[in-house]
Chain A
Amino acid sequence: MSKPVASDLAHLRQHIAKLDGSLHASGALPFGIDAIDRHLPGGGLALGAVHEIAGRDGGVVDAAAAALFAAGIAARTRGQVLWCVTQPDLFAPGLAQVGLTPDRVIYVEARDEKSVLACCEEGLRHGGVTAVVGEVAKLSMMVSRRLQLAAEAFGTLGLIVRRWKQEKGTADYGQPTAATTRWRISATPSAPLPVAGIGRARWHLELLRCKGGHSAEFDVEACDGKTCLALAAPLVHRPAQAPDAQLRTAS
């Protein structure tokens, strides 16, 4: 039996990707951080796909970090963003500071989660917006599949910020959905400054699930005005163990 040639493998991969649906047909949106982009198939967050983002501990209830993470990603799509919520407590100046300027966000204040998801699907299917963000607590397999198909068909980026009423709600986050990636974000203490004040916020990013990739964890510094994350200093300066040491194999 002859050894497989690299080109055959590439061909086979393409063929499988085709069978898999147009997963990466719309391209990917790189984070601009090599350590993260390397772990994502396509070299970035797949466009034309749905991604789930949630917070941890206190962040489960306010989902502030999750929302800002979503805002940073949506801002990099360079188009109009549809943001569907049930509780109108987003602070527009805060979003503007990561690049989502007022002329780019359309807020949809739905009465319940069902209509949030319906509006998200409508937005994904329309094609006139480049990213759709929805804030919901529950996301069933069926609904997420619908969203995923809509996103694939029109190449729109779908971001679902999971936000529960109380911290206990997170058991739900273990349930499978059709989302392409699943992230969990928790705030970690920032590096102490030599003077009084607060340094740049730090996040612990967990890529819990990634279709066609491995799960991983990253320590990053939060979105800044240029909508980019940055690797946290200890990770950048880590000499011996490569960032790969943090990899866990996907189950």
Chain B
Amino acid sequence: MHSCAPPPEAPLILKGTDGRRRVVVAVDRAARQAGLYPGMALTKAQALVAGLAIHDADPQADRDGLERLAQWALRTFSPLVAVDPPDGLVMDVTGAAHLKGGETALLDGLIQALAAQGIEARAALAGTWGAAHALARFSPGSSVITTPGEEDRRLPDLPIAALRLPADTVHSLNLLGFQSIGELAAQPRAPLVHRFGPDIARRLDQLFGRLNEPIDPVHLPDITEVTRVFAEPIGAPETLARYTGKLTAQICDRLDSKNLGATQLDLMFHRVDNRIEAVRIGMARPVRDAGRLTRLLCDQLETVDPGFGIERMRLVVTGAEPLALAQSSTLDTPGDTAGAGLSSLIDTLSNRIGAERIYRLYPAESDVPERCAHRRSPLEAEDARTDIWPRHWPRPVRLFARPEPITTLGLLPDYPPRAFTWRGARHQVIAADGPERIFGEWWKRDPEIHAVRDYFRVEIETGARYWLFRSGDGEDHRTGTRGWFLHGVFA
């Protein structure tokens, strides 16, 4: 933002023209609170709010900005991204959601990443472009994911403005008494088409998936890509795999000449019915090994539906990093320290189940058991100390994410219990060790200023060992409830 920009608390509007009228085109949060809305006359807005900052709307710059945003989303989230003017992006996430850990994680990540750039966004994931468009704009909550059955239930309740129709058509329909999509969809088509043209029927069909709506994806400037056009459409899995290998070899040659390695590859299949199926693979380290890339791509081929055939295949490098040395493809020696030898395994697993599900656990600076390990990407070098975990205090093998409450029978307040009941079964304590006192971390969380836990290691009559703790020091109420919990299982 420029230094001459108005302070964020001052209401700001953008002005434009609508025919010969000068109107408000966009309002910011402060202006909206002051009662202004897009579409009202500019003079009226000026009369209502004093000290209003007014700037000219620049539709072309908006459009360019949206295009740039689409290119960013293409690099980061999905191989197929198109602009949905004036204010939206549409992405086909089939075949790409797995890299972000599933659809929910992808949507949340998208909203967070946009928020980090200062963009407040709403997202919806649905079976058709029309449905996602409508749900993103007209359903409560900042992100929505629907299943096909749920779509049929939710879409009819949305207002007609969700249908992507011209504003005057929406206005006329409202005048006729139609409020929701459901009411409109229940009407006979012919009179509507006669009066309003074919648009309404087309939009309704696109919304419910009866009419195909191909998306026209944005392209990245200066990218490395190879394309292969087929005279006869192909569809057999073996054929797809074979041509995937050929395209990968070509793209590796291209990368070789530029001294680059791919960190992200998109393979797009243009079907004869104008749909584009896409798969995306991500690599932890830049790779230029055709065999390895082919294998990663072929692992994903089963998600591709060739339909009536594929007439064009396009392989695009959407992420590349310098890779000067030629990579050898010999098998890595076992026992290799974390690094190049493992990166191919990590890539294979990441593309299968999602990169954030593969991690190492390194010590974190905390004594509280739940927080004493933090996840790190397996190839990331960890320079933190790895020896800060206690060596002399035995630690359990399994730790419950939530300590489970138990009822105990104890003779003395400061001693471990003599017997306890956990998950409905009563256990006699034969031997115990402790306490090991762990204090709350008040510098991290306020409620932990006084918190204390006394941990005991107990052995029951079968020989099984558990990690119990008492909340509080047993005297001061502020330190805890004096309740007992089972937190872990020893071997």
Contact = CB atoms under 8 A, between A and B. Distances in A.
Interface of A: 57-59, 62-65, 67-69, 71, 78-80, 82, 89-97, 101-103, 105-111, 115, 118-119, 122-123, 126-130, 154-156, 186-190, 192-193, 196-199, 201-203, 222-223, 225
B348 interface: yes
Contacts of B378: 106
A80 B335 contact: yes
Given A103-B360, A108-B353, A155-B334, A80 B342 contact: yes
B349 to A, nearest CB: 6
Contacts of A67: 397-398, 491
Among A62, A68, A109, A156, find the residue whose CB has the most chain B CB atoms closer than 10 A.
A62
A116 to B, nearest CB: 9
Among A96, A122, A225, find the residue whose CB has the most chain B CB atoms closer than 10 A.
A96
A127 B331 CA distance: 7
A85 to B, nearest CB: 10
B439 interface: no
B345 A122 contact: yes
Given A91-B396, A93-B363, A127-B332, 17 more contacts: A78-B335, A79-B336, A90-B397, A91-B369, A93-B389, A93-B390, A94-B397, A94-B490, A97-B389, A107-B360, A109-B359, A122-B348, A187-B463, A189-B430, A198-B433, A202-B463, A203-B491
B334 A156 contact: yes
B401 interface: yes
A201 to B, nearest CB: 6
Contacts of B357: 108-110
18 contacts: A57-B464, A62-B489, A64-B397, A71-B397, A79-B336, A91-B373, A92-B363, A94-B394, A94-B395, A103-B386, A106-B346, A111-B353, A115-B352, A127-B331, A187-B465, A192-B431, A201-B463, A223-B491
Contacts of B362: 102-103
Contacts of B369: 91, 93
- The 9 tightest CB contacts between A and B, nearest first, are A68-B491, A187-B463, A91-B399, A79-B335, A92-B361, A93-B389, A65-B491, A94-B395, A128-B341
B344 interface: yes
Among A57, A67, A92, A96, find the residue whose CB has the most chain B CB atoms closer than 10 A.
A92
A92 to B, nearest CB: 4
A130 B335 contact: yes
Contact of B382 (A103, A109, A193): A103
A187 B491 contact: yes
A190 B461 CA distance: 10
Interface of B: 331-332, 334-338, 341-342, 344-346, 348-349, 352-353, 357-363, 369, 372-373, 378, 382, 386, 389-391, 394-401, 430-433, 457-459, 461-465, 488-491
A84 B440 CA distance: 32
Nearest to B345: A126
Nearest to B346: A106
Contacts of B345: 82, 122-123, 126, 128-129
Among A93, A126, A189, A223, find the residue whose CB has the most chain B CB atoms closer than 10 A.
A93
B465 A201 contact: yes
A64 B335 contact: no
A190 B459 contact: yes
A97 B342 contact: no
B398 A91 contact: yes
Contacts of B400: 89
A203 B416 CA distance: 24
Contacts of A130: 334-335
Contacts of A107: 358-361
B390 to A, nearest CB: 7
A111 B352 CA distance: 11
Nearest to A91: B399
A129 B348 CA distance: 14
Nearest to B378: A106
A64 B394 CA distance: 14
B42 to A, nearest CB: 54
Contact of B463 (A68, A92, A155, A189): A189
